[in-house]
Amino acid sequence: MQTEPEIVQRAEQPYVAIKASVTMETIGTVLSQLHPEMFAWLDANGVRPAGAPFSKYNVIDMQRELEIEVGVPVAEAVVGDQRFRPGVLAAGNYARTIYTGHPSGLVDATAALLEWAAKRGLAWDASDTPQGERWGCRLEVYETDPREEPDLNKWETHLIFRLAA
């Protein structure tokens, strides 16, 4: 199940994240390892999340490799280290849709959002590079806490992609 996409304005948001290179085959395993590591680091450093965890897709080449960040928004900038890096999600206009269902359906939900924008002539904050498509800000925000809702078919994920200025 997926909501009708909409355009929303978002303010700048500081975050902390772990950067990783994954393939479509390894992404699920990597995410399941990095999210707990991220929350352990936040706890150890006395940093409270200011929102739901997310995956930020920086470079996408579906056939080869994806550069992602597994992150959590924070109320104010934090000092990271070589593994846990602070960043800022850019302010601007974003296309957003809410997908409810098993994570395996996210590829189709993403395709639907991309198609919705194409039909409306909307341009993404993205550019082609030799490594793949580089995005200014393309997020999957995981609103469901798996400890509270173990049924993957009920998980809610917000797809939030920044539009070109």
Q: Which fold has domain 6-162?
A: Multidrug-efflux Transporter 1 Regulator Bmrr; Chain A (3.20.80)
pTM for the model stands at 0.95
Question: Looking at residues 151-162, what average pLDDT do you find?
Answer: 97
Share of the chain above pLDDT 70, in %: 100
pLDDT at 165: 86
pLDDT (tens digit, 9 = 90+) per residue, 120-151? 999 999 999 999 999 999 999 999 998 899 99
Pairing of strands 132-135, 126-129: antiparallel
Q: Residue 14: beta bridge partners?
A: 88
At 158, list the tokens: 């917000």
- Report d(CA 101, CA 93) in Å as an integer: 26
**Structural contact between residues 113 and 31, judged by C-beta atoms closer than 8 angstroms:** no
DSSP 121-153: T--BSEEEETTEEEES-EEEEE-S-TTT---GG
Closest by CA position to 71, among listed 2, 139, 119, 128: 139
Q: Residue 78 pLDDT more than 90? A: yes
At 95, list the tokens: 């296309």
- Sort 115 into a burial class: Cβ within 10 Å, 0-12 / 13-18 / 19+: exposed
Q: Residue 96: beta bridge partners?
A: 6, 160
pLDDT (tens digit, 9 = 90+) per residue, 20-62? 999 999 999 999 999 999 999 999 999 999 999 999 999 999 8
Q: Residue 158: beta bridge partners?
A: 98, 141
pLDDT at 26: 95
